Structure 1
Amino acid sequence: MNKSTEQWYASWFDTPYYHILYKDRDYDEAQGFMDNLTKYLNLPAGGKILDLACGKGRHSVYLNSLGYNVTGVDLSEQSIEYAKQFENETLKFNVHDMSKTYPDTFDAVFNLFTSFGYFDDEDCNLKTIKSIKAELNEYGFGVIDFMNTNYVVENLVAEDIKTVEGIDFHQKRYVEDGYIIKDISFEADGEQFEFQERVKAFSLEDFETLFEKAGVHLLDIFGDFKLRKFHSKTSERLIMIFK
């Protein structure tokens, strides 16, 4: 059952296995990142944040606990259904395609943890940036946190097996046609599964071109979650602040 369909993320992110494979992600580090980011942006108390591609909402929930009014959106209906259990007066979740403009404006729009570049249609990437621009209020900031492609390609582990909850996830990684691709195969519940993750290998220059086309201004670039300087060869992340 090969699910490397055009919208690979729609099928893979909606499986329970996606969440099993990545369940040990470092959330302390992620929370530290959000502490640093909100302090750096100096967001107003009770400020409004839009969390684009929020998944199951863990980061939205944390941002809300810091006192922000947060809206989390994601294309995955199952993820949003799960996230809705955390809703309160100042925390809302909705199914939404980030390449379309959300009908509200915010003090900040966050697109975190390499949740960009999934679209096969190039135009959708530009539309996403234009949508972020339209979603920002007069004082608002856009933030895209992407992998540093140079670093990732340089340090790509071609093949490994990761065992989580008794499932052996066979992972193969390679670069093809400008995409960083990961093939994931495993057996679970008596069935053989194959999925593929494809993320466009955007460089800083690629983003700069998109920003220019969308009419937004790049203000700052950081290379890690502690918001240290970006180095194209050694930084793990490419974190861009724009408006």
Structure 2
Amino acid sequence: MPKKWFQNWFNSPYYHILYHQRNDAEAEFFIDNLCAYLKPTADSNLLDIACGRGRHSVYLNKKGYNVTGIDLSVSNVKFAQQFENEKLQFYVHDMRYPFYINYFDFAFNLFTSFGYFETEKDHVNALKTFRKSLKKDGILVLDYFNSHKIMHHLTNQEVKHVDGIDFYISKKIADGKIIKSISFEHKNKDYSFKEEVKAFTLADFVHMFEKSGFKILNHFGDFSLNPFNETKSDRLIFICQKADV
């Protein structure tokens, strides 16, 4: 079976070259605000789903929490494992399949690390898996882009110059997805990758959370946890609780 786009792209060194400017200070600001809002206890167990190279996990661990990060990318997890300690572990794992059951107090799925799959059923099943990993009344934080704003401000073409590479990036809307095509040449070889993320709306998430056994406690529109505004907000951030089903 051919690999899915996310299996190829997130495992590529070029992904990290293109996005190397991602802002750690911004990520830490978001985590600080989430922790102030959620108030995890010192012995809380935290799960970072699709943790990438572990920047959120590492910072949560620095704040004193027990953190487990999971990601599908072998190279990401290998990179993150250099930061491991008694209270911080990383594993290669597909978010669609069960991980520790009824174990975590909080689960985080941050930076639009969702919406990659083909069908609603796949996404609902992933959410059900998140739910299974949580203790009774456990909390899920899911941070997504605001697809409504992105679709109304789509830049069709841009070129980014990073580390001597010209990345040609184009975006379009098709099949209910926001599709980003990335092509470039490096060392006389041509490369092309795609990012395909579902343009889920607030209503879509309300429906999927209900189907997967979550109760939405609150939702926000940015990393400062300001109220969500469909036309202006950059993010769509949910705080959900594992519900009895």
Of 95, 100, 108, which aligns to 1:98? 95
1:98-117 C-alpha deviation (Å, 9 max, x unpaired): 11121241111000000001
State the distance in 2 between where 1:228 and 1:101 align.
33
Q: Do structure 1's residue 41 and structure 2's residue 38 form an aligned pair?
A: yes
Deviations 1:26-55 (A, max 9, x none): 111111000000110111113111000001
Q: Which residue of 1 aligns with 2:17?
A: 20
Residues 54-84 of structure 1: CA deviation (Å, up to 9, x unaligned): 0111111111001110000000111111111
CA shift for structure 1 position 137: 1.3
* Alignment root-mean-square deviation, CA: 1.1
TM-score, normalization by structure 1: 0.96
Does the Cα contact within 8 Å between 1:220 and 1:240 map onto a contact in 2?
yes
- Within the candidate set 124, 131, 136, 1:138 is matched to 136
SS class of match (2:53): coil
Instruction: Give 5+ residue unaligned stretches, structure 2.
Output: none
Partners of 1:139 and 1:42 in 2: CA distance: 14
2:75 is matched with which residue: 78, 94, 99?
78
Separation in 2 of the partners of 1:161 and 1:189? 18
What secondary structure is seen at the aligned counterpart in 2 of 1:217? strand
Distance 1:121 1:98 in 2: 15
After the TM superposition, which of the residue ranges 28-37 and 42-51 deviates more from structure 2?
A: 42-51
**TM-score normalised per structure 2:** 0.95
Tell me how far apart the structure 2 counterparts of residues 106 and 11 of structure 1 sit (CA, whole Å).
29
Conserved? CA contact 1:6–1:120, under 8 Å:
no
Amino acid at match of 1:12: W
Q: In the alignment, residue 45 of structure 1 is paired with which amino acid? A: A
Cα separation, 2, equivalents of 1:95 and 1:129:
18
Report the 3-state secondary structure (helix = DSSP H, G, I; strand = E; otherwise coil) of the residue aligned with 1:113.
coil
Residue 60 of structure 2, aligned match among 50, 57, 63: 63
For residue 52 of structure 2, what is the amino acid of its counterpart? Answer: G
Could you say which residue in structure 2 is the equivalent of 1:204?
202
Matched, 1:114 2:98: no
Distance 2:213 2:164 in 1: 49
What does residue 88 of structure 1 align with? 85
The 8 Å contact of residues 70 and 92 in structure 1, kept in 2 or not, is answered as yes
Q: In the alignment, is residue 9 of structure 1 matched against residue 11 of structure 2?
A: no
Local SS of the residue matching 2:214:
coil
Q: Aligned-pair distance for 1:138?
A: 2.3
Return the match for 1:180 from 175, 178, 181.
178
The answer for the alignment partner of 1:125 in structure 2 is 123
Matches of 1:6 and 1:206, distance apart in 2 = 27
Cα deviations across residues 82-136 of structure 1 (Å, max 9, x unaligned)?
1111110000000111111212411110000000011124322111111111111
Segment drifting more, 5-14 vs 43-52:
5-14
- Percent of aligned pairs with the same residue? 48
Aligned counterpart for 1:190 among listed residues 185, 188, 191: 188
What's 2:47 paired with? 50
Structure 1 segments of 4 or more deviating over 2 A?
none
Count of aligned residue pairs for this structure pair: 239
Secondary structure of the structure 1 residue equivalent to 2:85: coil
User: Whole-Å Cα distance in 2 between the matches of residues 135 and 94 of structure 1?
Assistant: 15
